[in-house]
Structure formats: C-alpha cells, structure tokens
Amino acid sequence: MSNLTETLDALGLLCPLPVLKARKRLKSMPAGAILRVLADDPAAIIDVPHFCSESGHQLLSQEDTEGHQVYLIQKSG
C-alpha cells in the first residue's frame, strides 16, 4: 500500500470541474495512493462523496478549513 499523496487544487472551480479533475488525476496514480483535493464549490460537498461511491474510490476524510473543503481520496485497486 503506497502512501503517496498528491494535491489537486480545485479552488475557484465550479462543479463538475473539481470531480472531473480528480477523476483524471486519480487515473494516473497507483492503487492505494491518496489524492488531497482542495475545493470551495458548495456543490463539491455532495459531488465528491458521490463520485467516490460511484467510482469505488475511498473517501478517507472531508473537512472544512479556511473557507474551503479538503477531501482525502484513496484510489481503489
């Protein structure tokens, strides 16, 4: 299991862009790697967990910080 973590800065992007960019980034990452997504679109609070359950990736955490959300998504596989 890799603990490789990458950060995707999706601040200022409106849905579905944060999810589309997360999907694209996860594709190039090894299984078990963790993607940290920064987003400030209110819809991301619904869209990111939904994306994870649809795609099989694991949403490790979701937190609010300084006016945006931070999601940790572990790539399935």
- Interstrand relation of 5-10 and 34-39 (parallel, antiparallel or unpaired): parallel
pTM confidence score: 0.93
Residue 52 appears among annotated catalytic residues: no
The pLDDT value recorded for residue 1 is 44
The span from the CA of 4 to the CA of 31, in Å, is 10
The pLDDT value recorded for residue 67 is 93
Q: What are 4-59's pLDDT values in tens digits?
A: 799 999 999 999 999 999 999 999 999 999 999 999 999 999 999 999 999 999 99
The pLDDT value recorded for residue 3 is 62
Q: Which of 8, 10, 15, 19 is catalytic?
A: 15
Confidence check: pLDDT of 70 > 90: yes
What is the set of domains in the chain, with CATH numbers?
5-74 (3.30.110.40)
The pLDDT value recorded for residue 4 is 72
